[in-house]
């Protein structure tokens, strides 16, 4: 159980960087939403509650040896699948997608937790293997990944669904998956892309992709958001327009500024300087996590950390690219900064596992 | 060993991941650098255009006062409804919804939008000017519901005129035309400028300077706050020479008697115009908020041509009112003295042709005063023949006839006093001495504008100064009234005192004599002096032939020119009443205006307007057109504004 000695091995620098990013997020949420006095409590307060809950989840993930979680990972996995199926039929519909379970004051988005569940399961799966994984192993792992992926994609939440893929790729890569497999995968993707375009994507998803290539063709909707994102970021300049002085975010030229586009608002109000600080913190968090993977006492721990890190990194990079109008607009939040309780709790719980692995590198 | 291999490979792959992350974040940081620092200026401008709008604040045009400070033309607030396509998702839907809301014709609205299609999308396209409050309310409600976020209601100053009063004097305003913009660099497309009357002549003074307001708008185009405001400068205020009450009295007179026509009343000392009218009139307010096609067409196709300013654009045969010009020429050239006498048997023969006087029995022996008072044609045939057409033309011109008056209104036309040169230039024919006989009583080719007749009688009243009629008395640019100097007289001759005295005596008798034809204008104590004139539209033969065959009104026009009082004239003027059959009916209108003028000067209560009546029968001792039977004249008459 939790020993006093372990307390000294907690990576406080990582915790500090994570909390700093959370704080920046809260400040930006305050900036974009404070003007809009709606009946319920301000959004930034809700976000603070989510952070507190997330820290509790983090503490819980720390309190037990990570192997306890990986040992139970198949139960967790099955339970998650059950909840995802439940959401598909009984979830709350918001903005056209069934992603939510109403749970008292909070609305839980189970798909956010699927990333951790999958990381635990894959860490266990590859960690128990000896040597480089063979084709069979890869096929099984792919199957295990595609099951929740399909369920989430069906909600439909293609964004969250897609971030399950980096978990598989990163863990398999670290586990020694042959490079030929990557080549084959890339080839497969290339060949199936036209089919996916034809049958797999909804119309609105196609619009988003085509308008990315030519934003002006759809200057009102998907393309509009992308153009506005670029204007928002570009107009920030070196030092920004100042706290709550951003015209793009404040006057709602940018939709869901407190959520998907929070980094754009940061770039507008705090400028390139603020962007560098935030990017620096993210790089620090990611590299520190990679170090935790390197330091892990066993392969299981190292795979677990990499699995958690993979979805986090992918999401951060994609969201920031999108915030600058350089990637198609997708409903992907920026972990640690965007408004959203489920995402916050799941992300902090993930960092709990990372800290857990690093903390227990000397235990047996 | 295998485990070692595993660890080594994992280490390498981890290092690859590290470099990958570092590389990705370097690319990201570089991208932000490119957007935020390198391209900052471009995006900053885009952001400002996004949320800032410059709105024009229309300057109200200057208020126009009468000579005593009575407000004549002012600006009121009105609302216009426009579409701003910048925020339009579906223009068809917007047009459909808007026309349904406002009860408009959809194709008309579509035509307006198409006309402005090439303009920048942030420029509002005005659909309705001067919207009713119900329309404004309907649009505002839908705007709040986000049903019509691309429709805006703007407050704009609109001109307000006293209905049809002095419409031709004020003129009207309208959107500047492309030709006007190309002529005057200070005008911009969409400006409202004067298009007629003093609105056009003094547009530069009246227009003011538009201001601008820079506002912040949100993503649906709603104004959030104002950044900077440059308030509009109201146009300069004008004080006219016109007198509201005299103007109204004049128009009341026309209305009461039911005549169309024109009149100009002025101060014979300096040319200040007291009243100026052309009937029928129109309502300039219909132009103020953008005239609709139907009204415009109606005004333009009306047989009575209400847009035509008869006072300066109508040319009419003037009849007996021309006789003073002949008298002046004869006296000034020394051809006769005031006491020169002619025997009138009721007719006379010149160059083998008989010419009739209007009074079959004749006037007997008359001198100049009596000849004017009784309008004896034979007397004027005789002295006109003695004086000759050149001298008549010379003196008529000196008195202002056949010349432009120089009034500060646009579109004045020149009248005509015939001369041998004119005839030669016109059709190469030589002047026949018999034509002089007709001209001597104002018939023949004589055709003159009412404003020039007013100048003519003023010149007689003031002894030879051809004043320039003008309408502007003072200008206030916000720092107090500054008087505008009266324009220089067009010309000045000094008439011999006995000339002036003899004509004045005759004119006095016309109004005040027992048998005067202008008795209708008599006002006790004010010595109104004047002359009636009756000008035929067509010869008597023509009247007989046209009977029942034409809808045209062929009744004679009536003139009355006057000044008062006789010795130190304060007011002079000319009144033309179309189809009044006799000048004595025009004198009724003059009397009311003169009475009002003096009542106001002396602070007495203003007289009640004459009761609406059908035209009274001509005064006894009338002077109908004298030589109706002359076939030679049939073609030369009917030169009026019809």
Alpha helices in A154-298 (DSSP H): 158-162, 164-174, 179-195, 203-213, 222-236, 247-250, 262-295
B-chain residues near A292 (CB < 8 A): none
Distance from CA of B237 to the nearest CA of A (A): 42
User: Contact A324/B31, CB-based, under 8 Å?
Assistant: yes
3-state DSSP call for residue B495? Answer: coil
Could you give the CA distance from residue A295 to residue A290 in angstroms, rounded to a whole number? 9
Question: What mean pLDDT is reported for chain B?
Answer: 86
pLDDT tens digits, B389-406:
999 999 999 999 999 999
pLDDT tens digits, B43-78:
888 888 777 777 778 889 999 999 999 999 998 888
Position B264 scores a pLDDT of: 97
Question: Above 50 in pLDDT, residue B620?
Answer: no
Position B628 scores a pLDDT of: 42
Q: What is the dihedral of CA A240, A246, A248, A254, to 10 degrees?
A: 90
CA nearest to B562, candidates B504, B606, B476: B504
List, in sequence order, every residue forming a beta bridge with B533; answer none if it has no partner. B559
Joined tokens for residue B237:
């205020």
Joined tokens for residue A113:
């937790």
Question: Above 60 in pLDDT, residue B531?
Answer: yes
Question: Above 50 in pLDDT, residue B640?
Answer: no
Could you give the CA distance from residue A77 to residue A167 in angstroms, rounded to a whole number? 14
Q: Residues of CATH 3.90.1310.10 domain(s) within chain B? A: 53-240
State the CATH architecture for B244-282+308-633: 3-Layer(aba) Sandwich (3.40)
Name the residue in chain B with its Cα closest to that of A319.
B28
Query: Any idea what DSSP says for residue A198?
Result: I
Do residues B456 and B401 lie in contact, with contact meaning Cβ atoms separated by under 8 Å? yes
Position B539 scores a pLDDT of: 55
Position A7 scores a pLDDT of: 79
- E strand or H helix at B483, and its extent? strand B481-483
Position B128 scores a pLDDT of: 84
User: Contact A237/B37, CB-based, under 8 Å?
Assistant: yes
Position B403 scores a pLDDT of: 92
Q: Residues of CATH 3.40.710.10 domain(s) within chain B? A: 244-282+308-633
pLDDT tens digits, B466-489:
999 999 999 998 889 999 998 999
Name the residue in chain A with its Cα closest to that of B11.
A294
Backbone angles phi, psi at A107, to 5 degrees: -105, 120
Position B622 scores a pLDDT of: 47
Considering only CB atoms, which residues of chain A are within 8 Å of chain B? Answer: 130-132, 170, 173-174, 176, 220, 228, 230-238, 247-248, 251-253, 267, 271-272, 275-276, 279, 282-283, 286-287, 290, 293-294, 299, 302, 306, 313, 317, 320-321, 324, 326
Position A186 scores a pLDDT of: 82
Position A94 scores a pLDDT of: 63
Position B147 scores a pLDDT of: 73
Position A106 scores a pLDDT of: 58
- B392 to B70, B383, B630: CA distances (angstroms): 43, 10, 22
A-chain residues near B10 (CB < 8 A): 174, 176, 299, 302
pLDDT tens digits, B158-181:
889 998 899 999 999 988 888 888
pLDDT range class, residue B410, cuts 50, 70, 90: very high
Position B627 scores a pLDDT of: 42
Contacts of B89 (CB under 8 A, 6+ apart): A220, B150
pLDDT tens digits, B315-351:
999 999 999 999 999 999 999 999 999 999 999 999 8
Could you say which residues of chain A have pLDDT below 50?
39, 219
Among 3.40.50.1820, 3.90.226.10, 3.90.1310.10, 3.40.630.30, what is the CATH number of B53-240?
A: 3.90.1310.10
For the segment B409-417, the average pLDDT, to the nearest whole number, is 93
């Amino acid at each position: 159980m939790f020993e006093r000695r372990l307390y000294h091995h907690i990576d406080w620098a990582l915790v500090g960087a994570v909390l700093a990013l959370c704080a920046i997020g809260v400040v930006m949420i305050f900036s974009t939403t404070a003007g809009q006095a709606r009946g319920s409590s301000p959004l930034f307060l809700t976000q603070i509650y989510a952070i507190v809950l997330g820290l509790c989840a983090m503490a819980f993930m720390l309190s037990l040896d990570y192997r306890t979680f990986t040992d139970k990972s198949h139960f967790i996995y099955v339970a998650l699948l059950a909840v995802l199926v439940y959401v598909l039929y009984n979830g709350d519909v918001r903005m056209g997608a069934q992603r939510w379970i109403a749970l008292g004051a909070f609305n839980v988005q189970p798909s956010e937790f699927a990333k951790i569940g999958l990381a635990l399961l894959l860490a266990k799966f590859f960690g128990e293997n000896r040597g480089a994984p063979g084709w069979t192993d890869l096929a099984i792992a792919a199957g295990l990944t595609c099951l929740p992926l399909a369920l989430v994609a069906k909600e439909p939440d293609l964004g969250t669904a897609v971030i399950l893929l980096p978990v598989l790729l990163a863990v398999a890569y670290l586990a020694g998956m042959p490079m030929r497999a990557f080549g084959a995968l890339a080839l497969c993707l290339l060949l199936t892309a036209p089919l996916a375009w034809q049958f797999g994507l909804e119309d609105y998803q196609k619009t988003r992709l085509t308008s990315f290539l030519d934003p002006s063709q759809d200057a009102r909707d998907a393309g509009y958001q992308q153009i506005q994102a670029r204007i928002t970021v570009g107009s920030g300049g070196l030092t920004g327009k100042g706290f709550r002085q951003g015209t793009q975010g404040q006057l709602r030229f940018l939709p869901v500024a407190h959520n998907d586009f929070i980094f754009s608002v940061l770039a507008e109000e705090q400028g390139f300087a603020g962007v560098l600080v935030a990017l620096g913190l993210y790089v620090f968090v990611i590299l520190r996590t990679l170090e935790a993977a390197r330091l892990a006492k066993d392969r299981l721990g190292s795979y677990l950390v990499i699995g958690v890190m993979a979805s986090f990194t992918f999401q951060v990079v994609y969201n920031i690219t999108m915030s600058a109008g350089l990637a198609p607009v997708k409903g992907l939040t920026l972990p640690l900064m965007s408004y959203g309780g489920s995402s916050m709790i799941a992300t902090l719980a993930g960092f709990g596992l990372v800290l857990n692995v690093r903390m227990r590198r000397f235990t047996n | 060993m295998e485990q070692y291999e595993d660890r080594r490979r994992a280490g390498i792959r981890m290092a690859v991941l590290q470099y990958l992350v570092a590389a990705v974040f370097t690319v990201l940081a570089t991208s932000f650098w490119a957007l935020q620092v390198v391209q900052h200026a471009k995006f900053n401008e885009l952001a400002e255009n996004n949320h800032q709008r410059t709105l024009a604040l229309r300057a109200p045009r200057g208020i126009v006062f009468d000579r005593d400070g009575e407000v004549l033309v002012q600006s009121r607030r009105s609302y216009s409804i426009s579409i701003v396509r910048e925020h339009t998702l579906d223009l068809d839907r917007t047009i459909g919804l808007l026309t349904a809301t406002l009860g408009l014709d959809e194709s008309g609205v579509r035509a307006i939008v198409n006309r402005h299609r090439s303009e920048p999308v942030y420029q509002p396209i005005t659909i309705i000017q001067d919207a009713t409050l119900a329309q404004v309310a309907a649009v505002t409600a839908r705007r709040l519901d986000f049903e019509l976020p691309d429709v805006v209601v703007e407050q704009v100053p609109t001109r307000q005129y006293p209905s049809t009063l002095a419409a031709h004097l004020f003129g009207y305003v309208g959107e500047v035309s492309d030709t006007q913009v190309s002529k005057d660099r200070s005008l911009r497309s969409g400006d409202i400028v004067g298009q007629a009357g003093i609105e056009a002549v003094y547009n530069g003074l009246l227009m003011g300077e538009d201001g601008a307001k820079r506002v912040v708008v949100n993503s649906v185009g709603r104004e959030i706050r104002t950044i900077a405001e440059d308030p509009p400068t109201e146009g300069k205020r004008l004080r006219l020479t016109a007198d509201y009450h005299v103007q109204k009295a004049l128009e009341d007179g026309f209305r009461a008697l039911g005549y169309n026509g024109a009149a100009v009343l002025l101060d014979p000392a300096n040319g200040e115009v007291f009243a100026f009218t052309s009937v029928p009139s129109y309502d300039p307010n219909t132009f103020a908020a953008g005239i609709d096609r139907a009204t415009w067409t109606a005004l333009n196709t009306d047989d009575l041509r209400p847009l035509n300013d008869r006072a300066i654009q109508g040319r009419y045969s003037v009849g007996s009112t021309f006789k003073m010009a002949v008298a002046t020429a004869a006296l000034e050239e020394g051809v006769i003295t005031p006491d020169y006498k002619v025997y009138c048997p009721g007719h006379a023969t010149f160059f083998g042709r008989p010419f009739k006087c209007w009074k079959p029995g004749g006037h007997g022996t008359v001198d100049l005063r009596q000849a004017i008072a009784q309008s004896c044609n034979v007397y004027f045939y005789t002295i006109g023949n003695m004086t000759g057409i050149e001298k008549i033309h010379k003196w008529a011109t000196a008195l202002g006839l056949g010349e432009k008056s120089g009034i500060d209104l646009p579109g004045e036309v020149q009248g005509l006093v015939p001369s041998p040169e004119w005839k030669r230039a016109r059709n190469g024919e030589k002047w026949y001495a018999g034509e002089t006989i007709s001209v001597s009583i104002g018939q023949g080719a004589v055709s003159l504008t009412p404003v020039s007749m007013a100048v003519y009688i003023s010149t007689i009243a003031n002894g030879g100064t051809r004043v320039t009629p003008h309408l502007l008395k003072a200008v206030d640019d916000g720092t107090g009234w500054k008087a505008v100097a009266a324009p220089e007289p067009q010309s000045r001759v000094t008439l011999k005192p006995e000339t002036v005295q003899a004509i004045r005596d005759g004119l006095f008798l016309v109004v005040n004599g027992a048998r005067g034809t202008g008795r209708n204008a008599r006002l006790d104590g004010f010595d109104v002096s004047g002359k009636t004139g009756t000008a035929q539209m067509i010869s008597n033969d023509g009247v007989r032939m046209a009977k029942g065959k034409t809808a045209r009104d062929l009744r004679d026009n009536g003139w009355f020119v006057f000044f008062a009082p006789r010795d130190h004239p304060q007011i002079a003027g000319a009144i033309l009443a179309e189809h009044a059959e006799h000048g004595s009916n025009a004198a009724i209108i003059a009397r009311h205006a003169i009475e009002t003028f003096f009542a106001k000067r002396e602070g007495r209560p203003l007289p009640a307007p004459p009761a609406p009546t059908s035209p009274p029968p001509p005064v006894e001792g009338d002077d109908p057109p004298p030589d109706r039977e002359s076939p030679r004249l049939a073609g030369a008459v009917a030169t009026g504004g019809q």
